[in-house]
């Protein structure tokens, strides 16, 4: 799948898809900040002390994000055996001031929220609070039509067949006028309850009968969040915080609910309008709920990946369930329970990608949790994103395969990530 000028938030939440249109149901009051000068986009932040440690230097791949103006900023971090071996940042954090990017800044992680949520569900399975093969109807009676035939496992691995609520037309923009409404209007502040989001999804016919196919659906993870709420008596956000964020000391990771801003250092996000860039940083992410509500940093995401795949968060039986996959339709990727397996030709890689308008995220690493890369970049909404698409692939291959990358690794990576992003939807 190519990155197009108009992309759906359905795709953003499932992982940066660009075929189709983009969500406009959550409009925000953006501010036009003037023209986007090429120099402002391409100017990198000064290279940090970590730029060439550990035999990793992906600065060229990172610069590709901003070289053609498709993104305003990008930063990434690679860790190995719990140690940072490379971190760098390029681009401009704030176009109004020209402030360079800080590599330790916070960003919206979109669908990288899903592994956090699936981990908590699996912990509840390990505690005997539910089973993966329980029907949804047992725990959420009356919420989902045919809920007696859909299992918890099918929610987590996207084989439920449930329609993705973010593909409903009310969530899309598709032309300059609706992009302007998204950037400058008032709908982006709208609060959604998870029950509302599920109701929108189940009002559409399912894609297929439960277990008879694979299709990414954010509705699945809103339901997973509701399961956590029902079983624990606490919100999914508080359970993720209590069970994962605090024990791992992920001090810059939050799941903000309806809070529209980002606290601490962060990059601004922008949409392209005829009169110049519009700041679209603010967002009420209740529209993403447990499918894409999180905010984090590259350091925190790398540490979460290392803990999850290093076996520190789940018991052996649930760890095995996490990485039991179903095919996605690509020969280079498959999907487990909130995590994806990708084959670039240099060994199995595990993780997720995600995004919301103005932010893209990639978190992938080795199956043993010993090496991972976390990437954040800021697509300049309304511009051709094909350059950013290629840059994601190049950076993933360089940081995770390095000198061992076989011929065809880039093609395999592109195929794997396209399948996971919902190509052809």
Looking at the annotation, which residues are catalytic?
111
Which is it for the CA torsion 59, 64, 68, 73, positive or negative? negative
Beta bridge partners of residue 374, listed in sequence order: 77, 363
Inter-residue contact 106 to 378 (CB < 8 Å): no
Task: Retrieve residue 342's tokens.
Answer: 């990708």
Q: What is the C-alpha separation between 119 and 24, in angstroms, rounded?
A: 30
Nearest to 328 by CA among 218, 418, 408: 418
Q: What is the C-alpha separation between 409 and 339, in angstroms, rounded?
A: 20
Question: In 185-232, where does DSSP find H-type helix?
Answer: 194-202, 218-232
Task: Retrieve residue 413's tokens.
Answer: 């990576």
Inter-residue contact 322 to 339 (CB < 8 Å): yes
Inter-residue contact 181 to 32 (CB < 8 Å): no
Beta bridge partners of residue 375, listed in sequence order: 76, 362
Task: Retrieve residue 389's tokens.
Answer: 């698409």
The per-residue DSSP string of 296-354 comes to E-HHHHHHHHHHHHTTSSS-HHHHHHHT--EE-S-TTEEE-SS-EEEE-SSSEEEEEEE
127: how many CB neighbours lie within 10 A of its CB?
A: 12
Nearby residues of 55 by Cβ (< 8 Å), 6 or more positions away? 85, 402
Nearest to 91 by CA among 359, 282, 354: 359
């Amino acid at each position: 799948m190519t990155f197009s000028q108009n992309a759906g938030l359905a795709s953003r939440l499932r992982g940066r898809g660009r075929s189709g249109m983009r969500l406009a149901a959550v409009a925000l009051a953006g501010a036009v900040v003037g023209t986007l000068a090429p120099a402002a986009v391409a100017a990198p932040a000064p290279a940090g002390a970590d730029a060439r440690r550990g035999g990793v230097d992906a600065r060229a791949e990172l610069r590709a994000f901003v070289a053609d103006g498709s993104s305003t900023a990008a930063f990434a971090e690679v860790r190995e055996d719990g140690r940072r071996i490379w971190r760098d940042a390029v681009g401009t954090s704030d176009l109004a001031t020209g402030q360079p990017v800080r590599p330790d800044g916070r960003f919206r992680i979109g669908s990288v929220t899903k592994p956090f949520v699936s981990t908590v569900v699996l912990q509840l399975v390990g505690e005997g609070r539910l089973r993966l093969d329980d029907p949804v109807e047992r725990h959420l009676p009356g919420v989902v039509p045919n809920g007696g035939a859909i299992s918890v496992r099918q929610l987590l691995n996207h084989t439920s067949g449930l329609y993705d609520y973010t593909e409903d037309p009310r969530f899309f923009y598709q032309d300059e006028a609706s992009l302007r409404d998204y950037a400058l209007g008032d709908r982006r502040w709208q609060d959604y309850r998870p029950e509302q989001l599920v109701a929108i999804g189940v009002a559409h016919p399912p894609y297929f009968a439960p277990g008879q196919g694979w299709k990414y659906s954010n509705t699945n993870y809103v339901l997973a969040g509701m399961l956590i709420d029902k079983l624990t008596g606490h919100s999914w956000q508080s359970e993720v915080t209590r069970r994962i964020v605090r024990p791992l000391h992920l001090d810059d990771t939050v799941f903000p609910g309806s809070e529209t801003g980002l606290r601490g250092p962060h990059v601004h996000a922008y949409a392209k309008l005829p009169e110049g860039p519009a700041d679209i940083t603010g967002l009420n992410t209740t529209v993403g709920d447990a499918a894409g509500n999180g905010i984090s940093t590259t350091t925190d995401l790398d540490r979460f990946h290392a803990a999850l795949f290093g076996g520190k968060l789940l018991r052996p039986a649930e760890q095995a369930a996490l990485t039991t996959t179903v095919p996605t339709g690509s020969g280079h990727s498959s999907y487990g329970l909130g995590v994806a397996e990708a084959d670039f030709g240099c060994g199995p890689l595990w993780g997720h990608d995600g995004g919301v308008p103005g932010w893209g995220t990639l978190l992938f690493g080795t199956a043993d949790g010993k090496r991972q890369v976390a990437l954040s970049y800021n697509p300049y909404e309304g511009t051709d994103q094909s350059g950013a698409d290629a840059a994601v692939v190049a950076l993933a291959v360089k940081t995770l395969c390095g000198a061992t990358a076989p011929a065809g690794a880039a093609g395999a990576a592109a195929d794997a990530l396209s399948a996971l992003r919902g190509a052809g939807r």
